[in-house]
Every structure is written in structure tokens, then in C-alpha cells.
């Protein structure tokens, strides 16, 4: 109630806009006795994940990905990948399998990787 009369929410909004007050927290904090809630603290940035290899061939990532089906057949093509962490060098191989991939197909890339890393020094 203001001066014995009720003010509608629309009337309050019009007065706020007329005086460039708006409806944000800042104008409300100017009102005597109003304690605005504290702003949420920004979350600290997480450190960027990083992997390091101490020795040659120390850390290798193996991965398998289904490429798809060959047209007109019942076989699936799988891509096996080995990534050498210290240089981000990648070895890949494609294998054809009737159903699921084999772990030994991914493991077969490791001797190839070891040989090429040893040759490169």
C-alpha cells in the first residue's frame, strides 16, 4: 500500500523503468534494510589434464573404434590406434572382424610402436 492505495506489480515495474531502476539485485540493495543475497563465488578453473612419459615408450594409449560395415557384407571394420604420449605420434591399423574387436589386435601395435621408437632414438 502506498498512500492508502494498493499498487499493482505492473505499476511498480513501470515506475522502475521510468527511473532506470530495473529489477536486478543492485537497486534492491539500495533499499534501507534490504540484505541482498551474496553473489555466488566463481568456481576456480581446473588445471588442464596433462600426461607425461618419463622414458621412451613409457606411456602408450591404445584405442579401438568401429568404422562401420562393408557394403554388401556381414563384416565390420575396426580401427586400432596406438598413441605415444611423449610425442603424440600415432600408429593405426584397420582390421575386418565379423563381430566384436579383439584385444590382441590392439596389442599387436605395441611391438611395432616399440621398434619404430627405438629406431628413432
**Is residue 52 in a domain?**
no
pLDDT tens string, the chain, 121 residues long: the values are: 556 677 777 777 777 777 666 655 555 556 656 666 777 888 888 888 777 767 666 788 888 888 888 787 788 888 888 888 777 788 888 888 877 777 888 778 888 887 887 787 6
Q: Residue 65: give the domain boundaries.
A: 60-120
What backbone torsions phi and psi does residue 31 show, to the nearest 5 degrees?
-70, 135
Predicted TM-score of the model (pTM): 0.50
Residues 66 and 108 in one domain: yes
Q: Could you tell me the strand order of the sheet in which 76-84 lies?
A: 60-69, 76-84, 89-97
What's the structural domain count of the chain? Answer: 2
- The answer to whether 27 and 18 are in contact (CB under 8 A) is no
The reported pLDDT for the residue numbered 25 is 53
**Is residue 78 in a domain?**
yes
What distance in Å separates the CA atoms of residue 7 and residue 29, rounded to the nearest whole number?
Answer: 21
Amino acid at each position: 500500500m502506498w498512500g492508502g492505495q494498493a499498487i499493482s506489480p505492473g505499476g511498480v515495474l513501470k515506475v522502475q523503468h521510468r527511473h532506470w531502476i530495473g529489477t536486478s539485485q543492485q537497486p534492491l540493495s539500495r533499499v534501507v534494510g534490504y540484505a541482498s543475497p551474496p553473489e555466488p563465488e566463481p568456481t576456480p578453473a581446473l588445471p588442464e589434464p596433462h600426461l607425461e612419459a618419463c622414458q621412451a615408450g613409457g606411456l602408450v594409449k591404445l584405442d579401438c573404434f568401429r568404422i562401420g560395415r562393408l557394403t554388401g557384407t556381414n563384416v565390420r571394420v575396426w580401427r586400432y590406434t596406438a598413441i605415444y604420449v611423449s610425442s603424440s605420434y600415432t600408429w593405426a591399423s584397420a582390421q575386418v572382424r565379423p563381430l566384436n574387436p579383439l584385444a590382441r589386435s590392439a596389442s599387436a601395435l605395441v611391438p611395432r610402436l616399440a621398434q619404430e621408437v627405438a629406431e628413432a632414438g
